[in-house]
A and B are shown apart, each in its own frame.
Chain A
Amino acid sequence: MLRYIAKRMVFAIPTLFAVSIVAFIIIQLPPGDYLTTLMADWASQGGAVEAGTVAAMRDRYGLDQPIYFQYYKWIAGILTRGDFGISFDFGKPVTELIWNRLGFSLLLSVLTLCFVWAIAIPIGILSAVRQYSISDYTATFLAFFFLAVPDFLMALSAMYIMSAWFGQSVGGLFSAEYVDVSWSLGKLIDFAQHVWLPVVVIGLGSLAALVRIMRANLLDELSKPYVTTARAKGMSEFELLLRYPVRLALNPLISTIGWILPAVISGEIIVSVVMSLPTTGPLLLRSLLAQDMYLAGSLILLISVLTIIGTLISDILLAITDPRIRLQ
């Protein structure tokens, strides 16, 4: 088992490298760099910049060097000193800007995953056991409806409903008085009051896929001979359902963490912008618009790391729950 985990971890390393290179290249793809964006900004505000200043800044930021050298400098800084570079836009080290937000992003994603699973599994089971019934059709319809509604629209309507009808404070993860204080029970309660709305909004979008997967897996398992065997033992139908077919249908569902996690994270970006959450989403959007390449590159890299870790966790969970995988 430990060897299996070690092997998986080793396999993750080249993937991470590939991701860092791709992330860096994508950021460099649009024409121009941070300075041209800055120039355009200044020009639109009526200011003019001397050519000498631009050249000096370009030299200072190292933007005149070839792209592979810039990449080398960046990655070497991360690997040796944990230094992700400087954000041009904020004029601060990237590390300072993102750690806090990354923590909230991760927390939000994990909570969303838990929420989606908690909802999708029972609905999937119900849909499978009562295949082609009203409840099956209703669940399927609702799941697809939420899949079809764009995230931002859902976020907007949810915020409108909550604030206009229920008078709840929406937006952000905390009330104003808790934003800058350290953690306490009061802050935790306040957090719980705020976080459920974005979790529901992000989660509902991924619900349909999981419900359908659960339903299809379970339908396959329900007709397997071992179900008949268990029935012939005299087990009650409900216990039988949970103990055998559902238990086996969950295995493929566990492997979905690997791709549900990126979906949740990308959904989180839009929703976070709309609901002004202190996560990485709004920061990433801003850095991309400003071509703030070290900040954007670092964010994409770290989000990818999270995804790869998520896949790793799903692999390990799968090995724990399915003895057949352990055997290999």
Chain B
Amino acid sequence: MTIMKDTILEVRELRTVFPTRTGIFKAVDGVSFELKRGKTLCVVGESGSGKSVTARSILQIVDRPGRIEGGSVLLTRADGSTTDLAKLEPRGREIRDVRGKEIAMIFQEPMSSLSPVHRIGTQIGESLRIHFGTPKHEQRERVLELLRQVEIPHPETAIDRYTFEFSGGMRQRVMIAMALACNPSVLIADEPTTALDVTTQAEILDLIKKLQQNHGMAVLFITHDMGVVAEIADEVLVMYRGKVMERGPVEQIFHAPQDAYTHRLIDSVVRLEKKAELRLARPAIPEGTAPLLDVRNLSLTFPSGLKAVDDVSLTVRPGETLGIVGESGSGKTTMGRCLLRIYDPQAGTIDYRRPDGHMVDIRTADKAALKKIRSEVRMIFQDPVGSLSPRKTVGQIIAEPLKIAGMKGRELNDRVADLMQQVGLEPAWRERYPHAFSGGQRQRIGIARAIALKPRLIVADEATSALDVSLRSQMLDLMMKLQDELGLSYVFISHDMSVIRYMCDRVAVMYRGKIVEVGETDQVVNEPAHDYTRALLSAIPHPDPHNRRIHNRFRYKAGRTA
């Protein structure tokens, strides 16, 4: 090997714009950075900060009508020659030779980023054919080798399968194999772990690290998760509205941020690292309080034979927040829906204490009883876009449950205005439609709708997962404020341990339909009793670059205890 220059890619004053009806939107506005061999640069920022567009500008694959307006992207090759990628014709031969061969990219959604009708072997082998004209049988050999590198089990059969036959984590491995096919010198990863569970995320991060060390690639890693940044970054670029706010080594960003925005960003992450002040100050709920909700031996088996909820027992006391944590597929959402009888569980009891003191079993309640219970037990959903009708104004959305309960006229209007104020929305906005609101505001609308009927229990299903981290703590604070004002109880379903720790009094850990551990949040987080909980906790990226731990995490093998 000859001695090579350290800097492989140098981006100078890059500007990418999207012409719109009202003018020109500057998605990337004068961004500069360098990518060095074997090093990882993390680009962080909230949604809409332009980090994805920056990455796509490098390869000139920005979606239309976006275009690069200025700046340069200098790629230095092993032989010392350099090319300015920003000057190349986007559809031309030269830039195509760089794509996939010298700079490869992996994307956020491994499901939709791969074609569902082509075998994965074909999709991986394609880059070899395009760039080297590799014949079919050699292609297959190389693809098998790549599949082995990314640790996909049984590569010989996996190569002829389709993407939908794989889990999310395996699909992302396929993406990585595809990116590695031509031994690129730069790997751009655009939120590659955002759609994955924490444990799968930890595995993928491990894999990228390992491959980076083996191949000496430079990695540009885009993420909004500061925990991930702390775990993997050498250097960090903080972006906000298309501009670079701060750039520096990872220690500086976390421990001595220079810029006010970085400060705020780090603060909002660190805030979620401990219990909310609001909760620390609150007196504990007395031990002997009679439960509001008492679930015993609840089981639900889907017609496919999948035991989604398997003998689950838990209690929720008045004024308490019970967290349900687990990976996707653990049955936590299904369980939450059973509590409102959206699904019909086959066995067990869901005893709910009505305001007059007597208990009703929600599982066997008849229609009339269920209707009453559903005005007292409400739900908040994950997706703040999909759960609000785009054809109704905000006022109508919030008024809907009230109307069903028979409220009308002036009383209804006043109540809607009150509710909007309560969740921090201007009552004057009631005539607007949901699309006019940001993600955080939409989730507030969902909360206003949920509390409209003065419920006693709210099942919040991943209520903050779709929000940026800076909005997340605001939303949780709002929910706790409402809890104290209205005497609410929450069942808070989340895959995010930091959110659970921030607001929940007690937490139940779910794994494959079963609850493996329940306890006070502090105790479960600090001294987990079950191995699975320990594995889950150790896979969570920790927002402190001094304390990188997911590479040495504790791994839980299913079946060892089951």
Residues on A lying within 8 angstroms of B by beta carbon are 223-226, 228-237, 244, 247-248, 251, 321-324, 327
Contacts and interface: CB of A to CB of B under 8 A. Distances in A.
List the 8 closest pairs (A to B, CB-CB), nearest first: A234-B99, A233-B100, A234-B100, A225-B113, A232-B105, A234-B96, A225-B112, A233-B127
Nearest to A239: B130
Interface centre among B63, B105, B117 (most CB of A within 10 A): B117
Contacts of A224: 112
B185 to A, nearest CB: 14
B85 to A, nearest CB: 13
Interface in B128-185: 130-131, 162, 164-165, 175, 178
A251 B164 CA distance: 17
A229 B91 CA distance: 15
A233 B126 contact: yes
Contact of A225 (B99, B109, B118, B131): B109
B107 A234 contact: no
Given A225-B112, A321-B117, 14 more contacts: A226-B114, A231-B61, A232-B59, A232-B61, A232-B104, A234-B97, A234-B127, A235-B96, A235-B126, A236-B96, A323-B162, A323-B164, A324-B116, A324-B117
A232 to B, nearest CB: 4
Interface residues of B, number: 31
B117 A322 contact: yes
A323 B63 contact: no
Given A226-B114, A226-B115, A248-B115, A235 B130 contact: yes
B412 interface: no
Nearest to A322: B117
A162 B178 CA distance: 56
Contact of A223 (B63, B109, B113, B126): B63
Nearest to A247: B117
A232 B99 contact: yes
B98 interface: yes
B101 interface: yes
Contacts of B118: 244, 247
A225 to B, nearest CB: 4
Contacts of B107: 225, 228-229
A322 B162 CA distance: 10
B115 A244 contact: yes
Contact of B113 (A228, A234, A248): A228
B66 to A, nearest CB: 12
B61 A234 contact: no
A198 B174 CA distance: 51
A231 B62 CA distance: 10
A231 B99 contact: yes
Interface in B73-125: 91, 96-101, 104-105, 107, 109, 112-118
A140 B348 CA distance: 60
A192 B354 CA distance: 81
Interface centre among A229, A233, A236 (most CB of B within 10 A): A233
A228 B61 contact: yes
A234 B112 contact: no
Given A228-B61, A235-B96, A244-B115, A324 B162 contact: yes
A66 B276 CA distance: 84
B184 to A, nearest CB: 11
Contacts of A226: 112-115
A124 to B, nearest CB: 18
A120 B34 CA distance: 49
A247 B118 CA distance: 10
A236 B109 CA distance: 23
A270 to B, nearest CB: 38
B199 to A, nearest CB: 24
Contacts of A322: 117
A323 B117 contact: yes
25 contacts: A223-B63, A226-B113, A228-B107, A229-B105, A229-B114, A229-B175, A229-B178, A230-B115, A230-B126, A231-B61, A231-B99, A232-B61, A232-B99, A233-B100, A234-B98, A234-B101, A235-B96, A235-B130, A236-B96, A247-B117, A247-B118, A251-B117, A323-B116, A323-B162, A327-B164
A237 B127 CA distance: 14
Contacts of A234: 96-101, 127, 130-131
A231 B96 CA distance: 8
A293 to B, nearest CB: 47
Interface centre among B63, B115, B175 (most CB of A within 10 A): B115
Nearest to A228: B61
Contacts of A237: 91
Interface centre among A230, A244, A327 (most CB of B within 10 A): A230
Contacts of A229: 105, 107, 113-114, 175, 178
Contacts of A247: 115, 117-118
A225 B98 CA distance: 20
B16 to A, nearest CB: 15
Given A234-B131, A323-B162, A248 B117 contact: yes
Nearest to A229: B113
B117 A232 contact: no
B90 to A, nearest CB: 9
A231 B90 CA distance: 10
A232 B165 CA distance: 24
Contacts of A228: 56, 61, 63, 107, 113
Contacts of B91: 237
A135 B162 CA distance: 37
Nearest to A326: B162
A324 B98 contact: no
A259 to B, nearest CB: 23
Contacts of A233: 99-100, 104, 126-127, 130, 178
Interface centre among A224, A228, A322 (most CB of B within 10 A): A228
